[in-house]
Amino acid sequence: QPKAQIAGRHVTGVEALVRWRHPTRGVLAPDLFIPLAESTGLLGPLTHWVLSRAIEDAAHWHRGGLPLSVAVNVSPRSLIEGDLPAAIVCLLAKCGLPSRLLEVEVTETAIMTDPAGSSNVLRQLRAIGIPISIDDFGSGYTSLGYLKTLPIDALKIDRSLISDLTADDKGLAVTQSIIDLGHRLGLTVLAEGVETEETWRLLESLGCDEGQGYLLARPMPAEHIEGWITSHQHSRESWDPTVQPTTL
């Protein structure tokens, strides 16, 4: 799913969203199969596969002159078990992708599951040159004091705060505070789940840096990304929220 600058709507990257095309149940969202992968010991291989596919796609775009960053969400267990940094280094080298074009997203829950261990892994990833984002920010319990010590580059405001932003004064105040906090810490701030033009414009007035959601584009197969960008982002003025690609 693409993400873009709030001001100008220039596409800045994409997020890799894993889906399971089940033979009888259709397309399944992660919350329906990630717990199964964890309980059966398949989470590690699944994470490696997602990273591999995402890096391959980003390398393909990069070779074609489209240096899009791709973000991959890493679960709490995958973050602290095994050797994630070493695995990523191997995949980047194999595909020839600059580390700056891979972004690792972790949730507040993932970090607080093992703060010391998580921080150590994140520092290793940052040393490689990989940007780090905290996903679903505002939905968990991250200590603000601990936040200043984490080696992170961006905050992604949880969609639960964004969905009713135009009608919820308290949610608006919290969102403004997160944006201000992020900027004071030198972080990029992105809003998830933006579905209306009114919300997008409001986020622009609040100073939010980037947006992601159905207003910009629904999730799509990787092979559709180049065509979508060519059609809708050739110039910033050509953005058209009424035309959407085939969705997953």
CATH number at residue 16: 3.20.20.450
| Distance between CA atoms of residues 149 and 122, nearest Å | 11
The domain tally of the chain equals 1
- Asked if residue 142 belongs to a domain, the reply is yes
80 domain residue, yes or no: yes
**Does a structural domain hold residue 246?**
no
| Residue 35 φ then ψ, to 5° | -60, -35
Residue 244, in any domain of the structure:
no
Residue 247 maps to a domain: no
Judge whether 243 lies within some domain.
Answer: no
Distance of alpha carbon 132 from alpha carbon 129, whole angstroms:
9
**Side-chain-side CA neighbours of residue 243 (13 Å):** 9
Tell me the mean pLDDT in the region 95-114.
92
pLDDT of residue 235: 47
> Which residues have C-beta within 8 Å of that of residue 17, sequence separation ≥ 6?
1, 30, 219, 248
Q: 13 forms bridges with which residues in the sheet? A: 3, 69
Rg (CA), the chain: 18
* Structural domain harbouring 101: 2-238
Q: HSE-up of 23 (CA within 13 Å, CB side)?
A: 0
241 versus 128: the higher-pLDDT residue is 128
Average pLDDT value for residue range 211-231: 92
Structure tokens at 226: 């180049």
The pLDDT score that the predictor gives to residue 233 is: 58
Q: What is the CB-side half-sphere exposure of residue 99 using CA atoms within 13 A?
A: 16
Tell me the pLDDT tens digit for each residue of 50-76. 999 999 999 999 999 999 999 999 988
Picking from 179, 189, 109, 187, the residue whose alpha carbon sits closest to that of residue 148 is: 187
Whether the pTM exceeds 0.85: the reply is yes
